[in-house]
A and B are shown apart, each in its own frame.
Chain A
Amino acid sequence: MKKNNRLKYIAPLVIAAGCLTAGLSSCGETDLAYNIDWSEDTDGTTISFWTPFGSDIEAVLETVVSEFEEETGITVNLESKGGYDNLEKAVILSASTSTMPNLTFAYPDHEAAYVENNSLVRLNYYFDNDGDDTFNISDFYSDYMAENQAIEFQDDGTPYTLGVPFNKSTEVLVYNETFFDWAATRDSAIAVPTTWDDVLAVGPKINTLLAPYFGKYIGSDSIGYSKESDMPSGVSTLFDFSTVAADEFRPVSYDSQANFFITACRQWGGKYTEVENGNGYLAFDSDEVKAGLQYFQNGYNSNALGIPADWDEAKYSSTPFKYLETVMAIGSSAGVSNDAPTGNKFTINVAPLPYKDADKKFVISQGTNLVMLDQGSNAQRIAAWKLLKYLSKEANGEFAAATGYFPSCEYASNSEAYSTFLSQEPVSIVDKIRRNTALVNRDIYMADASTWTKFVDPPFSGSSTVREAVNTAIAQLFIDGKTPSQIISTLYSNLSDYVRS
């Protein structure tokens, strides 16, 4: 790991300059952060905890936090800021009025921003000094912890730990199981793909198979009917393609175009970005990345794959998937329940992300980390640390079992709640797809002998800007028909602040 000299020296100057020029009060009691009196009683202490979650996940967190409150006598003011971007903006705004929460969630690039803002607490001190030998940095899965140790470094190059993983997810391929079961009886070459070559081979076969059925109902006798009422007695509807036109159908769709681009860089042997001396640089102007983009453009042009924009969807393929406008949807493992159809129309299942070559099985790691902010009294800081620890043990397993996120540590994986979740035979489609997704993660992506690598590109200040820019690249490639070279050239031009001089 390289030493991050820039951040180390810039942070205090930014604080001082910011305060002097803006006239803002900066009341964070930073001297308290690393001089904790651990003997102080926290019973009756109140802390604030800001989250990005919507109401469903927030409700799960509320339950877990309530249990913590009952156990400790600490009151937690839990507040959702309505999304990750909102949360980051709210934290940055609150830093200027000394109303920061004690604990919150952060992506790695948010952590980098908070380091520059000098509002983030390095957790090494707390791990080392709280007198608890049962809670260590090494308890967390290293794949998830790495991004928290890639931003700020000590003089000897040892990284500071700026957060601990909490809600982690990755990408998986959800497929229409009923469709694939039926399709295999019509064409034995149609199977759930494991490689991108498989995707591009099976896509045209699916298109060919369905060609006579678009605009019709497929009966249980595999005959296409214009109306359900035309079906003879004993025949029921297998699939309703009555509202699907041939040109609206794509066999597979990829939700996140930023992830599509970034993962393609890795799987084709190229790079996306790289960090040196704390600065981030673009690294995707390479023959490998161009080859990957060209490969996918060819796949799109052969109608083998698509993106949400093909159905005027902003971000997700779940609606087209439920309406049979696609039969495979690649997206976040945390969102697989969104692919469950209403009314028991068909069953679904899950598979790993397709890969290019067996020696480059890369899949992105996503999700946020718990971070402590430089805020509050001695008792509040201890209380916040206690909550962070609580959320990193069995409670993390309880949260993961209820939400579909992955456990962040062994404590959580081995918890009773998560063990029950994995061992209990699922009943509904939602329970089944979430359980099977967890098994893909445990048994394929994270297994001891796994050939998969979960990756996170090193964060830097501005990495979210680069990600937002590349998020448009796939649409330009597919829908606007630009060449890989044109797209890369445009991105380098628009992101000139991140191009090596």
Chain B
Amino acid sequence: MKKRNLLLLVFAFAMLAPLASCNETTSSASTCEVLSSADDLLTSTPITDALQFQYADTYLTSDFDVPTSGVAYGKARLSTTTDGDTCNFYTLNDTLVKVRFLGINTPESTAKVEPWGVKASKFTAARLNAATNICLVNDIDAYTKYDSSGGRNLGFVWYQTTASDPWRCLNLELIEQCYSKNQLFSDSALGYLDSFLEAGSFGESCGYRVNGTKDPDYDYTNTVVEATLFEIRNNYADLGIDATTGTSGKQLRVKALVVGQIGDNMILRDLVRDLSQSETDPYTCIYAYAGYNTALASKVSVGDVVYFYCRATKYPKDSTNIQLSDLKTSTYGSQAFKTLAKMGDANWSEYVSSDNGIDPFSMPSSIVTSKDVLGTYSGVFVETQITIRVIQTGDYDDNGNYVSDGGTTYYNQGTSGCTIYGYIKDTTIVCNLRIDNTAYPLLHYTDFEVGESYNVKAYLVPYYTNYQLQILNNISGADYVRILDS
């Protein structure tokens, strides 16, 4: 640097030195509480308390999804929560929008799991599930309408727990509760910047959660556990998966047989039975979620014996359903995804025993005498018979009953697939068919007819209070779905 410039700088600093201290934080209203546990919530959130909601008088008649410029805001109804910073909402006109929260970035808790991710996700879910009123807000001119992928609306989420409670900005609360660092660095017509900066500084000065505290339920070790699917399903607490929070726990390495695929995702089956299982028990299965843009199906086929690194999570978070996620799918590097044998290879039988193979476990409708009996096959790749009850646009609960207050159009095969409502054949035991839109080749709802019965080979999983069969990539010749003679 030129000497003259340095002199000017020295002069400027000398003039200003008495005016400010370098170590000051901008936080003035908040103090660092003493938390007895890293999981405790802060009892005082003055920064969130102080930020005022501006649309209480008009939000009920405004649709968040309509404007393409300026400030967008409007009433919203929670559909589902994805993680700490992304949720699905219905806007005023019942448009389903996926919203990425502006100004924050909570740790991951879906395809990948990071410290505090599951807890941030649960915090967001708890706040929004308890909310009486929700309003989404964005200044499109300042922050754009969609995120960089173009698939998610951006927004601030305001909520009221009861109608008499003050409105609170959940994005800001997540920062003040230290589930996210501040990610808002430019202001808008909304005027939120100072509050977000203050909350971010407060978090850094206190050092809670994402700002420096270890997640007590996250396994930070680099230990990799080799586990069978049976062990993952039955001993998941030992593997660090908390039964309550669904925290991912240890990194796993799994060796298993691919018995089905849904898009790039896999239905895996154990290569051996556990010693505690009898010879008539089905081999344990599990769903392995590949994540986005992995194109895993381009290197994996039904019948492959695969060996890969992953973690296990609960999905949905509060359910009993366990799946594999955070899969390492690259074929390069120290944690490369490996295919040990393909069906037909000479060494395939070294891994797959003679009573295993890619065929589903036979669960004829005649043996399913109750929902409890059906539940004993949950998590198994089964072959059974289903009679179709409802294929109709509209809003239905998981029993297939029409719900009149608006909501999901289940059969719409738009972006997320569809649910076709059915019974186990010759019973009234609910067992629906779930067609995920990532499946390829993809069955369509028009391929089914109400009243007809079908032989189905699919993966049985719990779905709220009932069960559903997840339909696989409809590979030619696999005979996964076949209409039965009347």
Query: Measuring CB to CB, which residues of chain A are less than 8 angstroms from any residue of chain B?
Result: 8, 11-13, 15-16, 19-20, 23-27, 30-31, 33-34, 55, 59, 79-83, 85-86, 89-90, 93, 97-98, 118, 122, 227-229, 236-237, 240, 308, 313-316, 319, 337-338, 340-345, 347, 401-402, 417, 420-421, 424, 426-431
Contacts known (A19-B16, A344-B297); A12 close to B8, Cβ less than 8 A: yes
A430 in complex: contacting residue of B181, B197, B298, CB < 8 Å: B298
CB-defined contacts of A313 to chain B, threshold 8 Å: 150
CB-defined contacts of B329 to chain A, threshold 8 Å: 428, 430
B298 in complex: contacting residue of A11, A347, A401, CB < 8 Å: A347
- Segment among B124-132, B279-287, B384-392, B437-445 that sits at the interface with chain A: B437-445
Bound Cα distance A93, B194 (Å): 11
Interface string of B283-315 (1 = CB under 8 A from A): 000000000011111110000000000000000
Bound Cα distance A27, B16 (Å): 9
CB-defined contacts of A319 to chain B, threshold 8 Å: 150-151
B21 in complex: contacting residue of A25, A30, A345, A426, CB < 8 Å: A25
- Which chain A residue lies CB-closest to B181? A79
- Which chain B residue lies CB-closest to A235? B476
Asked whether, in the complex, the Cβ of B185 is within 8 Å of the Cβ of A316, the reply is: no
Bound Cα distance A340, B440 (Å): 14
CB-defined contacts of B416 to chain A, threshold 8 Å: none
Bound Cα distance A16, B6 (Å): 11
Bound Cα distance A313, B299 (Å): 29
Asked whether, in the complex, the Cβ of A343 is within 8 Å of the Cβ of B438, the reply is: yes
30 A–B contacts from the bound complex (CB under 8 Å):
A16-B9, A16-B12, A24-B20, A25-B16, A25-B21, A26-B12, A27-B22, A59-B112, A82-B105, A86-B185, A90-B185, A118-B5, A227-B446, A236-B476, A240-B442, A314-B144, A314-B150, A316-B149, A340-B293, A340-B295, A341-B295, A342-B263, A342-B438, A347-B298, A401-B333, A428-B298, A428-B331, A429-B295, A431-B299, A431-B331
Asked whether, in the complex, the Cβ of B148 is within 8 Å of the Cβ of A315, the reply is: yes
Asked whether, in the complex, the Cβ of A34 is within 8 Å of the Cβ of B1, the reply is: yes
Bound Cα distance A86, B196 (Å): 13
CB proximity of A83 to chain B, nearest CB, Å: 7
Contacts known (A34-B1, A81-B185, A316-B149); A430 close to B20, Cβ less than 8 A: no
B183 in complex: contacting residue of A16, A81, A342, CB < 8 Å: A81
Asked whether, in the complex, the Cβ of A12 is within 8 Å of the Cβ of B333, the reply is: no
**Contact residues of B between 152 and 187, Cβ < 8 Å to A:** 181, 183, 185-186
CB-defined contacts of A11 to chain B, threshold 8 Å: 5
CB-defined contacts of B63 to chain A, threshold 8 Å: none
* 6 closest A-B pairs by CB: A343-B440, A25-B20, A314-B150, A89-B185, A340-B295, A429-B298
Query: Measuring CB to CB, which residues of chain B are less than 8 angstroms from any residue of chain A?
Result: 1-2, 4-6, 8-13, 15-16, 19-22, 24, 26, 105, 108, 112, 114, 144-146, 148-151, 181, 183, 185-186, 197, 261, 263-264, 293-299, 329-333, 339, 438-442, 444, 446-447, 473-474, 476
Asked whether, in the complex, the Cβ of A19 is within 8 Å of the Cβ of B298, the reply is: no
CB-defined contacts of B9 to chain A, threshold 8 Å: 12, 15-16, 30, 118
CB-defined contacts of A430 to chain B, threshold 8 Å: 293-295, 298, 329-330
CB proximity of A243 to chain B, nearest CB, Å: 9
Asked whether, in the complex, the Cβ of A86 is within 8 Å of the Cβ of B183, the reply is: yes
CB proximity of B335 to chain A, nearest CB, Å: 10
CB proximity of A122 to chain B, nearest CB, Å: 7
Asked whether, in the complex, the Cβ of A19 is within 8 Å of the Cβ of B331, the reply is: no
Asked whether, in the complex, the Cβ of A345 is within 8 Å of the Cβ of B440, the reply is: yes
- Which chain B residue lies CB-closest to A27? B22
CB proximity of B181 to chain A, nearest CB, Å: 7
A338 in complex: contacting residue of B181, B293, B438, B473, CB < 8 Å: B293
Query: In the complex, given contacts A314-B149, A341-B440, A427-B339, what are 11 additional A-B residue pairs having Cβ atoms less than 8 angstroms apart?
Result: A20-B12, A86-B183, A97-B26, A118-B5, A236-B476, A314-B148, A340-B294, A343-B297, A402-B330, A426-B331, A430-B295
Asked whether, in the complex, the Cβ of B8 is within 8 Å of the Cβ of A228, the reply is: no
CB-defined contacts of B16 to chain A, threshold 8 Å: 19-20, 23-26
- Which chain A residue lies CB-closest to B184? A86
Bound Cα distance A313, B16 (Å): 49
CB-defined contacts of B185 to chain A, threshold 8 Å: 81, 86, 89-90, 93
Asked whether, in the complex, the Cβ of B105 is within 8 Å of the Cβ of A80, the reply is: yes
Contacts known (A402-B330, A428-B296); A122 close to B20, Cβ less than 8 A: no
CB-defined contacts of B146 to chain A, threshold 8 Å: 314
Asked whether, in the complex, the Cβ of A427 is within 8 Å of the Cβ of B5, the reply is: no
- Which chain B residue lies CB-closest to A425? B331
Contacts known (A13-B8, A34-B1, A343-B264); A427 close to B295, Cβ less than 8 A: no
B1 in complex: contacting residue of A33, A90, A341, A345, CB < 8 Å: A33
CB-defined contacts of A24 to chain B, threshold 8 Å: 16, 20
Among B16, B19, B295, the most chain A Cβ lie within 10 Å of the Cβ of: B295
CB-defined contacts of A341 to chain B, threshold 8 Å: 295, 440
Bound Cα distance A427, B439 (Å): 21
Asked whether, in the complex, the Cβ of A421 is within 8 Å of the Cβ of B2, the reply is: no
CB proximity of A222 to chain B, nearest CB, Å: 16
Contacts known (A11-B5, A97-B26, A342-B295); A25 close to B19, Cβ less than 8 A: yes
Asked whether, in the complex, the Cβ of A316 is within 8 Å of the Cβ of B440, the reply is: no
Bound Cα distance A59, B326 (Å): 12
CB proximity of A179 to chain B, nearest CB, Å: 15
CB proximity of A290 to chain B, nearest CB, Å: 29
Asked whether, in the complex, the Cβ of B150 is within 8 Å of the Cβ of A31, the reply is: no
Bound Cα distance A451, B299 (Å): 36
Asked whether, in the complex, the Cβ of B150 is within 8 Å of the Cβ of A427, the reply is: no
CB proximity of B452 to chain A, nearest CB, Å: 13
Bound Cα distance A483, B7 (Å): 53
Bound Cα distance A278, B24 (Å): 36
A337 in complex: contacting residue of B264, B293, B473, CB < 8 Å: B293
Asked whether, in the complex, the Cβ of A26 is within 8 Å of the Cβ of B19, the reply is: no
Bound Cα distance A431, B293 (Å): 11
Contacts known (A13-B8, A308-B150, A402-B332); A343 close to B105, Cβ less than 8 A: no
- Which chain B residue lies CB-closest to A342? B263
A20 in complex: contacting residue of B15, B114, B331, B444, CB < 8 Å: B15
Bound Cα distance A248, B388 (Å): 34
CB-defined contacts of A343 to chain B, threshold 8 Å: 261, 263-264, 297, 438-441, 473
CB-defined contacts of B2 to chain A, threshold 8 Å: 8
CB proximity of A323 to chain B, nearest CB, Å: 10
- Which chain B residue lies CB-closest to A83? B148
Asked whether, in the complex, the Cβ of B22 is within 8 Å of the Cβ of A98, the reply is: yes
Asked whether, in the complex, the Cβ of A228 is within 8 Å of the Cβ of B441, the reply is: yes
Asked whether, in the complex, the Cβ of B297 is within 8 Å of the Cβ of A89, the reply is: no
CB-defined contacts of A98 to chain B, threshold 8 Å: 22
CB-defined contacts of B473 to chain A, threshold 8 Å: 343
CB-defined contacts of B6 to chain A, threshold 8 Å: 30-31
- Which chain B residue lies CB-closest to A125? B1
CB-defined contacts of A342 to chain B, threshold 8 Å: 263-264, 295, 297, 438, 440
Bound Cα distance A338, B446 (Å): 30
Asked whether, in the complex, the Cβ of B20 is within 8 Å of the Cβ of A344, the reply is: no
CB-defined contacts of A13 to chain B, threshold 8 Å: 8
CB proximity of A90 to chain B, nearest CB, Å: 5
Bound Cα distance A401, B294 (Å): 16
CB proximity of B174 to chain A, nearest CB, Å: 14
Contacts known (A55-B108, A236-B476); A427 close to B299, Cβ less than 8 A: yes
- Which chain A residue lies CB-closest to B1? A34
- Which chain B residue lies CB-closest to A87? B185
CB proximity of B471 to chain A, nearest CB, Å: 13
CB proximity of B240 to chain A, nearest CB, Å: 19
Contacts known (A27-B22, A340-B298); A16 close to B186, Cβ less than 8 A: no
CB-defined contacts of B261 to chain A, threshold 8 Å: 343
CB-defined contacts of B148 to chain A, threshold 8 Å: 83, 314-315
B447 in complex: contacting residue of A8, A229, A344, CB < 8 Å: A229
Bound Cα distance A122, B264 (Å): 47
B197 in complex: contacting residue of A16, A93, A401, A429, CB < 8 Å: A93
CB-defined contacts of A424 to chain B, threshold 8 Å: 331-332
Asked whether, in the complex, the Cβ of B19 is within 8 Å of the Cβ of A23, the reply is: yes
